[in-house]
Structure 1
Amino acid sequence: MSSESRTTPEERAGLPGLLAAFAVDYLRWLALVPMVFSWALLLLVVVLMLAINFQGDIDSMLERAEPWVERWLGPVEQGEENGGEAETIVLTEQDFKPWVYRIWLFAALAGFLLGLLRSCLFGPWRPATIKRKILRAGLAAAACSALLFFAWLFGSEAYAGPAAGWIVMFIVFPLLAWGVSSASLGFSHLLDQIRPGVMRVVDRSALAVMRKVTATESQAGWRQ
């Protein structure tokens, strides 16, 4: 086996190829951010459902843990109630949309930088196959759906409306998260597949341009 076959595409690439690889990685994280947000929203719904339906059990656990907390952290101060009227904040779509785009871009940048830092510290990693990733997302969605049904069936709160509507919601929400994850993972996998080819094309194009510029300068100097 030759030494070239043991090296990674990043080690064989020049500066233009590395810049192209960084751009592809950033696009990959742009595709993964919707998946992260969808799972964060789904997990928030699951946590709220469990907290609301088992609030009595949680309160009793907190009361039992309060002496231990006070022993280590001191007495817990109670916040003062505000008797004034709460101010109403009205958010329009024009106010909300720019923040969504900014959070999306900065979240992708944070993921890209963390991935780059991990590669620098621990070297390149071999990701799981796309089928395994989608399967894991499906299992996580099924687990979230099971937790929602558990909170609905065994919780202390009564739900208004027909049971069929709640059943559909407990199934559709995890399915939406799984669908977004499948799309994000599929696009990310596609970018991973074309990434080495993009690096080679950019490197060859940059090399051809440099040779052309060098040849032009040589011809101009010879004519002078």
Structure 2
Amino acid sequence: MATVKELKATARPKAGKGAARAERRAGRVPAVIYGDNKAPLTISLDDKALRQSIFAGHFLTTIFNIDLDGEKHRVIPRDFALDPVKDFPIHVDFLRLGKGASIRVSVPLHVTGTEASPGVKRGGAVNIVNHTVELEAEVEHIPQFIEVDVSKLEINNSVHLSDVVLPKGVRVVSREDQTLVTVVPPSGYAEETKGAGAEGAAAPAAGAAAAAAPAAKAPAGDKKK
């Protein structure tokens, strides 16, 4: 189930770079609400509150009720920009969510069962091939993450998207056979496997050679006269 959070906003009547810089100097972050066949709304948000929401995680899969002058707008973040030097938010785009809407979202993976994996116990390492998956979800059923269980994976085994049970109201929009997580072998694993295979093959060969060798004849005894 999607998480719904609250944010308070103020109207930003002026657009443009100059107006945006003025908002940032005042400790606010310029933002836009668009979509649902309605006119875009230019707003600004408290820098501290927005920063906490972004760095808390799952920002792009969280639904927000934005309170603008007493009217609430149900939205989901579609993009945000951070200052390249100071790493604080400088702009956010929000998509307005209509009733019964379905949207495409990029959902992060949450890997579980690492310590129980037999492949990891043998020295392998969990390699996350795709950190996110593209899904289409009903607004009320946007998952915060997709759980991937690797507790049964051996070395060189993988979990594919088709192996994951998705929540209600969610469907795959990317390839179902895409690899999500695999357990990669430790360094030197191929040589060890090759050596073990060679030893196993040598033992039966030696036994076969021994069986094929002719038995030595006992020395002939003296004939009785």
TM-score of the pair, normalised by structure 2: 0.23
Q: Which protein is richer in helix relative to its size?
A: 1
Q: Which has more radius of gyration? A: 2
- Structure with the largest fraction of strand: 2
Task: Report which structure shows greater RCO (CA 8 Å, sep ≥6).
Answer: 1
**Scaled by the length of structure 1, what TM-score is found?**
0.23
